[in-house]
Structure 1
Amino acid sequence: MAGTGERRKTWNAEINIVEAGTEVRAEARLRGKEGGQMVGEGTAKCNPADENVPAIGDELSVARALSDLSHQLLSRAAHDIEVHTARPVERLHA
Protein backbone atom coordinates (compact mmCIF):
# COMPACT_ATOMS: atom_id res chain seq x y z
CA MET A 1 0.00 0.00 0.00
CA ALA A 2 2.88 2.34 -0.61
CA GLY A 3 1.84 5.76 -1.74
CA THR A 4 -1.61 5.69 -0.12
CA GLY A 5 -0.55 8.28 2.42
CA GLU A 6 -1.16 5.97 5.32
CA ARG A 7 0.60 6.59 8.62
CA ARG A 8 1.38 3.87 11.09
CA LYS A 9 1.57 4.25 14.83
CA THR A 10 2.41 1.77 17.53
CA TRP A 11 0.91 1.78 20.99
CA ASN A 12 2.24 -0.79 23.44
CA ALA A 13 0.25 -2.34 26.27
CA GLU A 14 1.99 -3.95 29.22
CA ILE A 15 0.09 -5.98 31.78
CA ASN A 16 1.44 -6.73 35.23
CA ILE A 17 -0.24 -9.20 37.58
CA VAL A 18 0.39 -9.44 41.31
CA GLU A 19 -1.03 -12.24 43.44
CA ALA A 20 -1.34 -11.66 47.18
CA GLY A 21 -3.15 -14.37 49.09
CA THR A 22 -6.62 -14.76 47.60
CA GLU A 23 -6.48 -11.43 45.73
CA VAL A 24 -5.08 -10.80 42.26
CA ARG A 25 -4.36 -7.27 41.03
CA ALA A 26 -3.65 -6.42 37.40
CA GLU A 27 -2.39 -3.21 35.88
CA ALA A 28 -2.72 -2.55 32.14
CA ARG A 29 -0.38 0.24 31.05
CA LEU A 30 -0.78 1.78 27.58
CA ARG A 31 2.28 3.59 26.19
CA GLY A 32 2.86 5.40 22.94
CA LYS A 33 -0.28 7.49 22.95
CA GLU A 34 0.37 11.20 22.55
CA GLY A 35 0.27 12.78 25.96
CA GLY A 36 1.99 9.95 27.80
CA GLN A 37 0.52 6.78 29.16
CA MET A 38 -2.71 5.53 30.64
CA VAL A 39 -3.15 2.89 33.34
CA GLY A 40 -6.14 0.62 33.93
CA GLU A 41 -6.54 -1.43 37.08
CA GLY A 42 -8.50 -4.54 37.91
CA THR A 43 -8.79 -6.96 40.81
CA ALA A 44 -10.24 -10.38 41.51
CA LYS A 45 -10.70 -12.26 44.77
CA CYS A 46 -11.20 -15.94 45.29
CA ASN A 47 -14.33 -16.72 47.25
CA PRO A 48 -13.29 -18.90 50.23
CA ALA A 49 -16.00 -21.40 49.29
CA ASP A 50 -14.59 -21.82 45.76
CA GLU A 51 -11.61 -23.84 44.59
CA ASN A 52 -8.54 -21.60 44.21
CA VAL A 53 -7.69 -21.56 40.49
CA PRO A 54 -5.05 -18.81 39.99
CA ALA A 55 -5.50 -18.70 36.19
CA ILE A 56 -9.12 -17.63 36.60
CA GLY A 57 -8.12 -14.80 38.94
CA ASP A 58 -5.51 -13.69 36.42
CA GLU A 59 -8.09 -13.67 33.62
CA LEU A 60 -10.66 -11.73 35.63
CA SER A 61 -8.23 -9.12 36.95
CA VAL A 62 -6.67 -8.56 33.49
CA ALA A 63 -10.09 -8.31 31.84
CA ARG A 64 -11.13 -5.72 34.41
CA ALA A 65 -7.89 -3.76 33.97
CA LEU A 66 -8.34 -3.73 30.18
CA SER A 67 -11.98 -2.71 30.58
CA ASP A 68 -10.92 0.15 32.86
CA LEU A 69 -8.33 1.22 30.29
CA SER A 70 -10.92 1.04 27.50
CA HIS A 71 -13.34 3.25 29.43
CA GLN A 72 -10.58 5.77 30.07
CA LEU A 73 -9.72 5.88 26.35
CA LEU A 74 -13.38 6.44 25.40
CA SER A 75 -13.70 9.21 27.98
CA ARG A 76 -10.52 10.88 26.78
CA ALA A 77 -11.66 10.65 23.14
CA ALA A 78 -15.04 12.19 24.04
CA HIS A 79 -13.30 14.99 25.93
CA ASP A 80 -10.89 15.65 23.06
CA ILE A 81 -13.78 15.79 20.57
CA GLU A 82 -15.66 18.23 22.79
CA VAL A 83 -12.60 20.46 23.11
CA HIS A 84 -11.99 20.35 19.35
CA THR A 85 -15.61 20.94 18.27
CA ALA A 86 -16.85 23.01 21.25
CA ARG A 87 -19.94 20.77 21.27
CA PRO A 88 -20.99 18.02 23.68
CA VAL A 89 -20.47 14.46 22.52
CA GLU A 90 -23.38 12.05 22.79
CA ARG A 91 -23.33 8.24 22.64
CA LEU A 92 -19.55 7.93 22.85
CA HIS A 93 -19.03 7.86 26.59
CA ALA A 94 -18.30 4.45 28.08
Structure 2
Amino acid sequence: MASTVGEEHRKDIVKTLLPIFLGFVAGIISFAVLGTLTKRHPLGIVILVFVIYIHKFLMPKFDVELENKDWGVISFLCFSSWYISWTLLLNA
Protein backbone atom coordinates (compact mmCIF):
# COMPACT_ATOMS: atom_id res chain seq x y z
CA MET A 1 0.00 0.00 0.00
CA ALA A 2 2.76 2.44 0.90
CA SER A 3 4.61 1.81 -2.35
CA THR A 4 1.52 2.56 -4.46
CA VAL A 5 0.96 5.82 -2.57
CA GLY A 6 4.59 6.79 -3.19
CA GLU A 7 4.30 5.83 -6.85
CA GLU A 8 1.14 7.91 -7.29
CA HIS A 9 2.84 10.84 -5.57
CA ARG A 10 5.81 10.56 -7.95
CA LYS A 11 3.49 10.48 -10.97
CA ASP A 12 1.65 13.58 -9.75
CA ILE A 13 4.94 15.42 -9.29
CA VAL A 14 6.00 14.49 -12.84
CA LYS A 15 2.60 15.66 -14.17
CA THR A 16 3.20 19.01 -12.48
CA LEU A 17 6.90 19.74 -12.90
CA LEU A 18 7.46 18.49 -16.46
CA PRO A 19 4.90 20.88 -18.05
CA ILE A 20 6.28 23.79 -16.02
CA PHE A 21 9.85 23.02 -17.07
CA LEU A 22 8.96 22.49 -20.73
CA GLY A 23 6.89 25.68 -20.70
CA PHE A 24 9.96 27.64 -19.60
CA VAL A 25 11.97 25.92 -22.33
CA ALA A 26 9.29 26.87 -24.88
CA GLY A 27 9.46 30.48 -23.70
CA ILE A 28 13.22 30.54 -24.12
CA ILE A 29 12.94 28.97 -27.58
CA SER A 30 10.24 31.47 -28.57
CA PHE A 31 12.47 34.33 -27.48
CA ALA A 32 15.51 32.86 -29.26
CA VAL A 33 13.60 32.35 -32.51
CA LEU A 34 11.58 35.56 -32.57
CA GLY A 35 13.79 37.86 -30.52
CA THR A 36 12.31 41.28 -29.86
CA LEU A 37 9.99 41.20 -32.84
CA THR A 38 7.55 44.08 -32.42
CA LYS A 39 4.71 42.76 -34.57
CA ARG A 40 2.59 39.80 -33.60
CA HIS A 41 3.85 36.55 -34.99
CA PRO A 42 2.09 33.19 -34.53
CA LEU A 43 5.32 31.18 -34.44
CA GLY A 44 5.59 31.64 -30.66
CA ILE A 45 2.24 29.96 -30.13
CA VAL A 46 3.13 27.23 -32.64
CA ILE A 47 6.21 26.48 -30.52
CA LEU A 48 4.00 26.29 -27.42
CA VAL A 49 1.53 23.91 -29.07
CA PHE A 50 4.39 21.71 -30.26
CA VAL A 51 5.83 21.53 -26.74
CA ILE A 52 2.40 20.62 -25.33
CA TYR A 53 2.16 17.86 -27.94
CA ILE A 54 5.58 16.53 -26.90
CA HIS A 55 4.06 15.60 -23.53
CA LYS A 56 2.17 12.81 -25.26
CA PHE A 57 5.48 11.08 -25.92
CA LEU A 58 7.44 12.10 -22.82
CA MET A 59 4.96 11.12 -20.12
CA PRO A 60 5.04 7.38 -20.93
CA LYS A 61 8.84 7.51 -20.55
CA PHE A 62 8.20 8.43 -16.89
CA ASP A 63 5.57 5.65 -16.52
CA VAL A 64 2.76 8.22 -16.37
CA GLU A 65 -0.46 7.44 -18.19
CA LEU A 66 -2.41 10.54 -19.16
CA GLU A 67 -6.16 10.75 -18.87
CA ASN A 68 -8.33 13.22 -20.75
CA LYS A 69 -8.62 15.49 -17.71
CA ASP A 70 -4.82 15.75 -17.44
CA TRP A 71 -4.49 17.57 -20.76
CA GLY A 72 -6.20 20.67 -19.42
CA VAL A 73 -3.81 20.86 -16.49
CA ILE A 74 -0.76 20.17 -18.66
CA SER A 75 -1.81 22.80 -21.20
CA PHE A 76 -2.48 25.42 -18.52
CA LEU A 77 0.81 24.83 -16.67
CA CYS A 78 2.80 24.82 -19.89
CA PHE A 79 1.06 27.95 -21.19
CA SER A 80 1.53 29.81 -17.90
CA SER A 81 5.23 29.10 -17.61
CA TRP A 82 5.74 29.82 -21.35
CA TYR A 83 3.98 33.17 -21.04
CA ILE A 84 5.85 34.19 -17.89
CA SER A 85 9.29 33.24 -19.20
CA TRP A 86 8.78 34.81 -22.63
CA THR A 87 7.39 38.02 -21.11
CA LEU A 88 10.30 38.30 -18.69
CA LEU A 89 12.80 37.77 -21.49
CA LEU A 90 11.12 40.35 -23.72
CA ASN A 91 11.15 42.95 -20.94
CA ALA A 92 14.72 42.36 -19.80
Q: Over alpha carbons, which structure has the higher Rg?
A: 1
The reply to whether TM is greater than 0.5 is no
Q: TM-score, normalised on structure 1?
A: 0.36
Higher strand share: 1
Higher helix share: 2
